[in-house]
């Protein structure tokens, strides 16, 4: 009997010894409160990718564990949660979905033992820097440039309304727009609720022929409703933020005709179509741009983990930068030597509830 017990204990210890190290990834995003729509979409997209990897056996036998933290949209909590995760010896940090969070985490970018991956933090100030920050979204400045080029064909005078809450992101968009748009640009910060500012907005708009909105999805819809109910015709241009969580599908006639810099894919592109079907089967809703970019960021991370010499920061950074072109959801994925994505912004116009690609 004692011999049998000894054999069982020996086998148990052997099996424990064979278990491979779990790869822990910290996820920091806004899951409650204002702007949580992007954070929830981003979490779900990344979770879908990680579950696929784990179901297939993990990274060379190593399973991935996500430590998901809700920063509640509080910048001070973003920094504290990040520090807490670092103190837990977590080397890969994922999330940080808006440019407003840049200042809370920039100080950590110089640490060689860490990797930061954001699907949607697009602040152009982080471009062309050799650090440990990576992303799969074009910069906010590029979004503004794209809108500006398009607006040159249809507009002469644009009122820009931007959210003071996410001023870091907005600044890049409206600077890109102003530098590219050949007409007049008037820029106004929105510091109150849209309904409280209705009279001011209409006053600011006098003499303009177009409106560029850099606000969250709800405020983008409310702004379009201000013009619709006051029978004021205008060309409305919006950053991709305005279509987060597929908000464009709920706006009705007031938002119809809006032009977005779209980060969604082409329905005719096979990988995008497959992903849409998979995501809908899992969550019973269509993926938003944040979902798609989170999944694509997951592709980059997991492929780099497979190829890295170790899971340490420098080895993983080297593996990310040396990755061959990866098949993404909306286009192929390839980061440059600074960890910035090389991809084109698309222009879409909302016509009778459908996004139609524009030349």
What is the tally of structural domains in the chain? 2
Last residue of one domain, picked from the residues 241, 262, 283: 262
CATH code for position 219:
3.40.50.2300
Residues 233 and 307 in one domain: no
**Is there a single domain that holds both residue 112 and residue 65?**
yes
Q: 274 and 250, same structural domain?
A: no
Residue 245 pLDDT: 64
The verdict on residue 197 lying in a domain is yes
Query: How crowded is the C-beta side of 28, counted as CA atoms within 13 Å?
Result: 30
The predicted structure's pLDDT at residue 6: 44
Range of the domain at 228: 141-262
**pLDDT above 90: percentage of residues in the chain:** 70
Q: Is the domain of 224 the same as that of 305? A: no
Tell me the C-alpha distance between 154 and 152, whole Å: 6
State phi, psi for 185 to the nearest 5 degrees.
Answer: -130, 125
pLDDT at 247: 67
Give the residue, 36 or 156, on which the prediction is more confident: 156
Predicted pLDDT at 7 = 43
Phi, psi of 14 (to 5 degrees): -65, -45
Q: What is the mean pLDDT of residues 15-20?
A: 55
Q: Is residue 340 part of a domain?
A: no
pTM for the model: 0.80
Share of the chain above pLDDT 70, in %: 93
Residues 258, 283 within the same domain: no
If you write DSSP's letter for every residue of 103-153 in order, what string do you get? HHHGGGTT-TT-EEEESS---GGGTT--SSEEESS--HHHHHHHHHHHHTT
Q: Are residues 230 and 82 in the same domain?
A: no
- Segment 238-264, tens digit of pLDDT: 998 888 767 677 778 889 999 999 777
Q: Return the higher-pLDDT residue of 83 and 356.
A: 83
* Domain contains 344: no
Q: Are residues 112 and 157 in the same domain?
A: no
Domain presence at residue 346: no
Q: Give the range among 112-116, 131-135, 265-269 with minimum mean pLDDT.
A: 265-269
Residue 208 located in a structural domain: yes
Average pLDDT of the chain? Answer: 90
Q: What is the pLDDT averaged over residues 301-311?
A: 95
Amino acid 15: pLDDT: 42
**Domain's final residue, options 233, 262, 291:** 262
Same domain for 293 and 221: no
Query: Which tokens hold the place of 190?
Result: 């929105």
Q: Are residues 121 and 98 in the same domain?
A: yes
Q: What is the DSSP letter of 239?
A: -
Cα separation, 15 vs 35, in Å, equals 45
- For the cut 50, the answer to whether the pLDDT of residue 193 exceeds it is yes
The domain boundary, picked from 262, 294, 310, lies at 262
Separation of alpha carbons 97 and 117, rounded Å:
10
> Who wins on pLDDT, 69 or 38?
69
Identify the residue with better confidence: 286 or 147: 147
C-beta of residue 313 within 8 angstroms of C-beta of residue 111:
yes
DSSP 101: G
Asked, for residue 349, whether it belongs to a domain, the answer is no
pLDDT for residue 11: 43
Instruction: Say what the pLDDT of residue 99 is.
Output: 86
Alpha helices (H) along the chain: 2-18, 36-55, 75-87, 102-105, 140-151, 167-180, 198-205, 217-229, 270-283, 289-307, 313-321
Regarding whether 274 and 249 lie in a shared domain, the answer is no
Give the model's confidence band at 19: pLDDT under 50 very low, under 70 low, under 90 confident, else very high: low
Q: Does any domain span residue 280? A: yes
Is there a single domain that holds both residue 235 and residue 125?
Answer: no
CA distance 73 to 31: 8
Residue 201 contacts residue 194 (beta carbons within 8 Å): yes
Over residues 207-217, the pLDDT tens digits come to 999 999 999 88
Residue 356 counted as domain residue: no
> Does 17 have pLDDT greater than 60?
no
Per-residue pLDDT for 9 more than 80?
no
Asked whether residue 30 falls in the same domain as residue 124, the answer is yes
């Amino acid at each position: 009997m004692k011999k049998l017990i000894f054999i069982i204990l020996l086998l148990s210890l052997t099996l424990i010894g064979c278990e491979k190290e779990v790869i822990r990834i910290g996820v920091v995003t806004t899951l409650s409160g204002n702007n949580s729509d992007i954070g929830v979409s981003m979490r779900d997209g990344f979770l879908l990718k990680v579950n696929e990897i784990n179901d297939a056996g993990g990274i060379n036998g190593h399973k991935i564990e996500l430590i998901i933290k809700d920063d509640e949209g509080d910048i001070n909590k973003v920094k504290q949660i990040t520090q807490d995760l670092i103190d837990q010896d977590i080397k890969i940090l994922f999330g940080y979905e808006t440019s407003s969070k840049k200042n809370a985490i920039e100080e950590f970018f110089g640490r060689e033992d860490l990797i930061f991956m954001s699907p949607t933090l697009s602040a152009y100030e982080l471009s062309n820097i050799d650090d440990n920050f990576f992303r799969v979204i074009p910069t906010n400045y590029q979004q503004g440039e794209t809108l500006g080029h398009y607006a040159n064909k249809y507009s002469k005078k644009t009122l820009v309304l931007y959210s003071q809450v996410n001023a870091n992101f907005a600044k890049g968009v409206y600077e890109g727009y102003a530098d590219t748009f050949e007409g007049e640009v008037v820029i106004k910060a929105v510091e109150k609720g849209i309904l409280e500012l209705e009279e001011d907005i209409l006053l600011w708009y006098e003499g303009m022929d177009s409106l560029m909105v850099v606000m969250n999805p709800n405020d983008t819809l409310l702004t379009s409703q201000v013009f619709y109910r006051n029978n004021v015709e205008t060309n409305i241009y919006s950053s991709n933020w305005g279509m987060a969580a597929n908000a464009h599908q709920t706006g009705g006639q007031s938002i119809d005709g809006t032009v977005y810099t779209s980060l969604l894919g082409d329905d005719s592109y096979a990988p995008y179509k497959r992903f849409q079907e998979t995501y809908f089967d899992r969550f019973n809703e269509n993926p938003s741009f944040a979902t798609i970019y989170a999944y694509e960021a997951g592709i980059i991370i997991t492929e780099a983990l497979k190829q890295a010499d170790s899971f340490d920061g420098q080895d993983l950074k080297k593996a990310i930068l040396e990755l061959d072109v990866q098949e993404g959801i909306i286009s192929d994925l390839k980061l440059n030597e600074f960890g910035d994505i090389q991809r084109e912004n698309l222009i879409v116009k909302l016509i009778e509830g459908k996004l139609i690609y524009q030349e």
